[in-house]
């Protein structure tokens, strides 16, 4: 049995579907009640309260671990202890590219701590380090729907955003095949794309132009501070505004693992166009 945490999110949802379609027995976990695809059981548990995972993980062979946000709310060792007690032998962690590219940043220290704990756990581990998600564009949905505009900072800085469906497919492979043990994969899209170009791609999916309005760093920061802690907002702005060469590079890992190119942002926009109508 494979336990998927973060099961109702951008990555977890396609991951649960992919595992179920491959014939795996899956337990989907999130805090709130949720519908699960046919044949999948859903269980409520809170990663911030590892004891709530005990019955969920009992009898599991593998765990997909996704902590939401920056991950500061979890105790890695307590989660690993409960996982091992339940029988888990393989763990796939969704981390972040920045855990590798920003080794000094406060914003990603909880994910680095999680990576370290998993590497020392004695379990078969695989670490996924995705770059920025295509699905971050859902933050634009409301103004695209109401005004056909996108307001964002750093309009001409390009990053190879990754489609969460590709992260999920890589996770399916890593959870089912022991050949990925001990590996850390960097996951990006097939090409760097600016936020101005992403807004344009959403417009093309809609069949109507979407106007891009560039925000100042200060305006973007004030907005982000409404829903994320200061170090996370500053760390994110630094990646969006001044990405390192490593953060702008297209990684070969999705193609190596899946045997095809990563999905483009335009494909993501077409698949998710309903959110922007
Ligand atoms: N967005 C990016 O550009 C980016 C880039 C690199 C890495 N990441 C990492 O990717 C992760 C986010 O992935 P995502 O976008 O797929 O997530 P998401 O769409 O935000 O969904 C979060 C999922 O986790 C569940 N959840 C949240 N808090 C929980 C808790 N305390 N206990 C149990 N379940 C909990 C949520 O359901 P409930 O709310 O019902 O519990 C939901 O299923 C974060 O770790 C982030 O650091 C993101």
DSSP state of 213: E
Give 205-253 pLDDT, tens digit per residue.
999 999 999 999 999 999 999 998 999 899 999 999 999 999 999 999 9
Q: What is the DSSP letter of 25?
A: -
> Phi and psi of 162, rounded to 5°?
-110, 145
Provide the mean pLDDT of the chain: 97
**Is the sign of the CA dihedral 238, 183, 114, 16 positive or negative?**
positive
Residue 86 has pLDDT above 80, yes or no: yes
- Predicted TM-score (pTM) of the model is 0.98
| Each residue's pLDDT tens digit, 160-202 | 999 999 999 999 999 999 999 999 999 999 999 999 999 999 9
Q: pLDDT band at residue 106, thresholds of 50, 70 and 90? A: confident
Q: Are 168 and 174 in contact (CB under 8 A)?
A: no
Q: How buried is 184 (Cβ within 10 angstroms: 0-12 exposed, 13-18 middle, 19+ buried)?
A: middle
Q: What is the distance between the alpha carbons of residues 168 and 18, in angstroms, rounded to a whole number? A: 8
pLDDT at 29 over 80: yes
Spell out the alpha helix ranges (H) of the chain: 12-21, 54-57, 76-86, 97-101, 109-119, 141-147, 164-176, 195-206, 217-224, 230-241, 245-248, 253-258, 265-271
Assign 69 a pLDDT band (cuts: 50, 70, 90). confident
Q: Quick check: 13 and 21 in contact, CB under 8 A?
A: no
**CB of residue 67 inside a 6 A radius of ligand 1:** yes
Report the separation in Å between the CA atom of 235 and the middle of ligand 1, taken as the mean of its atom positions.
Answer: 17
Could you tell me how far CA 154 lies from the centroid of its own chain? 22
Task: Give the pLDDT band of residue 103 (cuts 50, 70, 90).
Answer: confident
Q: Tell me the DSSP string of 37-86.
A: -TT-EEEE--TTSGGGGHHHHTT-SEEEEE-STT-TT--HHHHHHHHHHH
Mean predicted confidence (pLDDT) in 55-83: 94
> Is the beta carbon of 170 within 6 A of some atom in ligand 1?
no
Find the 143 Cα to ligand 1 centroid distance in Å: 23
- % residues pLDDT > 90 (the chain): 94
Whether 224 contacts 136, CB under 8 Å? no
Residue pLDDT, tens place only, 137-152 = 999 999 999 999 999 9
Task: Confirm or reject: Cβ of 228 under 6 Å from ligand 1.
Answer: no
Q: Is the CB of 31 under 6 A from ligand 1?
A: yes
**Atom of ligand 1 lying closest to residue 47 CA:** 32
Query: Are 238 and 217 in contact, with CB atoms under 8 Å apart?
Result: no
Report which ligand 1 atom has the smallest distance to the Cα of 136. Answer: 1
Q: State how far Cα 229 lies from the chain centre.
A: 18
**Ligand 1 centroid to residue 94 C-alpha, Å:** 9
In whole angstroms, how far apart are CA 257 and each of 32, 81, 88?
32, 30, 23
Query: Best mutation site among 35, 68, 166 for ligand 1, i.e. most ligand atoms within 8 A of its Cβ?
Result: 68
Ligand 1 in contact with 118 (CB < 6 A)? no
Strand partners, 130: 187
């Amino acid at each position: 049995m494979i336990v998927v945490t973060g099961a109702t999110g951008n990555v977890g949802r396609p991951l649960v579907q992919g595992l179920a379609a491959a014939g795996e027995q899956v337990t989907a976990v999130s805090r709130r009640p949720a519908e699960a695809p046919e044949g999948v059981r859903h269980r409520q548990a809170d990663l911030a309260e590892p004891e709530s995972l005990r019955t969920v993980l009992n009898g599991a062979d593998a765990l997909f671990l996704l902590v939401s946000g920056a991950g500061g709310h979890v105790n890695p060792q307590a989660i690993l202890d409960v996982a091992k007690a339940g029988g888990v032998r393989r763990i796939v962690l969704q981390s972040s590219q920045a855990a590798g590219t920003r080794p000094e940043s406060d914003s990603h220290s909880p994910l680095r701590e999680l990576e370290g704990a998993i590497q020392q756990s004695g379990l078969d581990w695989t670490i996924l380090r995705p770059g920025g998600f295509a699905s971050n564009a859902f933050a634009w949905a409301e103004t695209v729907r109401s005004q056909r505009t996108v307001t964002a900072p750093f309009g001409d800085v390009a990053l190879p955003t990754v489609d969460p469906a590709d992260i999920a497919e890589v996770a399916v492979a890593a959870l089912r095949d022991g050949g990925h043990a001990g590996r850390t994969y960097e996951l990006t899209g097939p090409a760097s794309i600016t936020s101005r170009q992403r807004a344009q791609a959403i417009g093309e999916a809609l069949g109507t132009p979407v106007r891009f309005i560039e925000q100042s760093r200060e305006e973007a920061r004030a907005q982000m501070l409404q829903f994320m802690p200061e170090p996370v907002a500053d760390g994110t702005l630094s990646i969006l505004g001044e990405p390192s060469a490593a953060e702008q590079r297209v990684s070969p890992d999705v193609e190596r693992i899946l045997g095809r190119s990563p999905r483009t942002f335009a494909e993501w926009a077409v698949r998710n166009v309903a959110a922007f109508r």
